[in-house]
Structure 1
């Protein structure tokens, strides 16, 4: 019988090639730190890892978006804080100017400081972020939002848009507020109406108080309060008398249509005060109105003008603080979302590590075993290759 070694040799070669392949694969895993170096080794695990990579990338984008938005909102909060300080100082100056002992010189000095504060407020409204984008320009943040005309009127050149930034799955925040909303739309007076004196008034009546009477009956109408003889009458927009009194005592309260108004000083016959519904105005107009009131020589006119200026500045301060509150809420939302995203990143990273990262201790042990097995196979093959037929017949 003929004994053939061809099959034995080929089988040994095939086995060594397989062992070499396994050894090379283990070496590649150790070198790369990856459990699978080719998708074909475990298609399911590789596909899952790819999906998790995509989610991880999205979480990173959410966190980057949040960081950028938080930076802008922090700058906005600082600008609003400065604006609030300026408005508070304006309020203090109006109170000083409304003091009966304030001289014309003192009022002139106050008006000068008010103008300087208005310029400072304009600079705040034109504040920029670290990239040179304007904080209060809306979506048109490449151009200067506020400018002053030759006549001193401040106008807004931005838009009313808000950039919504995605900070998480289904979560977004506005990274700023438009200058129109912040500086150009301040409620006037007490938030419902404002009382102004007719420039032609001759008496000494000055507005003391103008507030809703608590009934909620005021319905955005215009009224005129006319002092006639020793009394007064209240007329609606059509000129119809809605209330009248034959006598008026200075300081007494006049109530009509859901409002309560009182005056100090004695009015002259024919003096008129108009009550107009809410209108919104800019903080710059408020400052300008205060300066104009300070320049009035007539004490009664000046007192009414400064009363309205004081109410307007109070409304502006409340308006700015309200916006600051929304900014703070958005900053808190970003921080909470970032914490959630960070936790998700850690969980996904652990999952990816389990799918992708090689167990170094196990792989080193496997490499040693594979190398030993291959060396033994190679040694055995070398011995078999050198044998003759007579060696097999012994």
Structure 2
């Protein structure tokens, strides 16, 4: 059977080809103007899936960076507080060594040293209550308020009264609380980093708290400084007969024992400072990885979404040439009036 080719069928076929050329040109012009190969999912379904996955990874990567920055802010506050605490405790140690030279001490010099020690106590107490955005950096997930406050002298622990302890009102350290709750930030897909510190371990505690076992519990640096202050302030012939370990000792030996305790407290603060530094390094490394991943993911996304502008411009030029050639050829074959109308 022979297919009949009419003038009308030739016109319809020619118009269809011309319309196809126009659509191809429109797509290329859209890519040139937007710079994107994918403007809607139907443009490239497979590329759209890859684009969505890459964008999701970029959002997660950005969130890890934000979390890391916030964690560094928490740790920076702790680093500053612990470095200042170390400086203050070393100054207190110098005063204790000075007080041990009892041969040149008078009631006036002992009073002056005790006053200076009291100032150091208040400074360290304030540093232990350091906050970031209204939350204590040494009290886990506790709300606003001081993390550590003086309690009544009747509350005693490893040290002697008057004792200073972390207040039961502090959520994370309360004896009836939920334990050593942590503030953590996720810095990559697999791991989180703790950004607060357990103040009861670093500064010590005179009462039982969750997160610190009785075996690990140490006299708080606050009650220790109070004890040293009171010991120095009393005249050398005064003071309790039994002060350390149930053995009669003189003031020099009592101060020597308190000095050893102070050295231990300084060591615990330094351990806390080293731990903070290790976590800072961990977050900074995670941020470096996130930064490298960001560039790699952005490059992959660009390959999926962005057009090769020079190549698209060449294709557009070729498409325009083909369209003009088709118009010229059709004008010679088809009815002139029709081609004039198409132009």
Normalised TM-score (structure 2): 0.79
**Offset of residue 40 of structure 1:** 2.5
Larger radius of gyration: 1
Partner of 2:38, secondary structure, is coil
Tell me, yes or no, if the aligned pair for 1:114 and 1:291 is still in contact at 8 Å.
Answer: yes
Which residues of 2 match residues 1-394 of structure 1 at below 5 A? 4-101=6-103, 102-129=105-132, 131-149=133-151, 154-157=164-167, 158=170, 159=172, 160-185=180-205, 280-299=218-237, 300-387=249-336
Tell me, yes or no, if the aligned pair for 1:137 and 1:143 is still in contact at 8 Å.
Answer: no
**Offset of residue 3 of structure 1:** 7.3
**Offset of residue 283 of structure 1:** 0.8
The verdict on how the C-alpha distance between 1:362 and 1:278 changes in structure 2, with shifts beyond 3 A counting, is closer
String of CA shifts for 1:246-288, please: whole Å, max 9, x gaps: xxxxxxxxxxxxxxxxxxxxxxxxxxxxxxx985111101101
String of CA shifts for 1:181-238, please: whole Å, max 9, x gaps: 222349xxxxxxxxxxxxxxxxxxxxxxxxxxxxxxxxx9xxxxxxxxxxxxxxxxxx
Q: Whole-Å Cα distance in 1 between the matches of residues 233 and 55 of structure 2?
A: 68
Tell me, yes or no, if the aligned pair for 1:289 and 1:305 is still in contact at 8 Å.
Answer: no
Partner of 2:130, secondary structure, is coil
Partner of 2:192, secondary structure, is strand
Q: Whole-Å Cα distance in 1 between the matches of residues 131 and 230 of structure 2?
A: 31
Q: Whole-Å Cα distance in 2 between the matches of residues 382 and 20 of structure 1?
A: 17
Q: Does 360-369 or 346-355 show the bigger shift?
A: 346-355
**Offset of residue 289 of structure 1:** 0.9
Tell me, yes or no, if the aligned pair for 1:49 and 1:355 is still in contact at 8 Å.
Answer: yes
Q: Which runs of 4+ in 1 moved over 6 A?
A: none
Tell me, yes or no, if the aligned pair for 2:204 and 2:219 is still in contact at 8 Å.
Answer: yes
Normalised TM-score (structure 1): 0.70
CA RMSD across the alignment: 2.4
Higher strand share: 1
Q: Whole-Å Cα distance in 2 between the matches of residues 173 and 278 of structure 1?
A: 23
Tell me, yes or no, if the aligned pair for 1:19 and 1:370 is still in contact at 8 Å.
Answer: yes
String of CA shifts for 1:22-64, please: whole Å, max 9, x gaps: 1111111112211122322332222122112111211111111
Tell me, yes or no, if the aligned pair for 2:184 and 2:194 is still in contact at 8 Å.
Answer: yes
Tell me, yes or no, if the aligned pair for 2:166 and 2:205 is still in contact at 8 Å.
Answer: no
Gaps of 5+ in 1: 187-219, 221-276, 389-394
Q: Does 36-45 or 318-327 show the bigger shift?
A: 36-45
Tell me, yes or no, if the aligned pair for 2:139 and 2:196 is still in contact at 8 Å.
Answer: no
Q: Whole-Å Cα distance in 2 between the matches of residues 92 and 370 of structure 1?
A: 86
Higher helix share: 2
Gaps of 5+ in 2: 154-161, 173-179, 207-213, 238-248, 338-343
**Offset of residue 370 of structure 1:** 1.3
Tell me, yes or no, if the aligned pair for 2:165 and 2:220 is still in contact at 8 Å.
Answer: no
**Offset of residue 9 of structure 1:** 0.7
The verdict on how the C-alpha distance between 1:366 and 1:304 changes in structure 2, with shifts beyond 3 A counting, is same
The verdict on how the C-alpha distance between 1:278 and 1:108 changes in structure 2, with shifts beyond 3 A counting, is farther
The verdict on how the C-alpha distance between 1:61 and 1:378 changes in structure 2, with shifts beyond 3 A counting, is same
Tell me, yes or no, if the aligned pair for 1:126 and 1:146 is still in contact at 8 Å.
Answer: yes
Q: Whole-Å Cα distance in 1 between the matches of residues 84 and 216 of structure 2?
A: 27
Q: Whole-Å Cα distance in 1 between the matches of residues 69 and 136 of structure 2?
A: 18
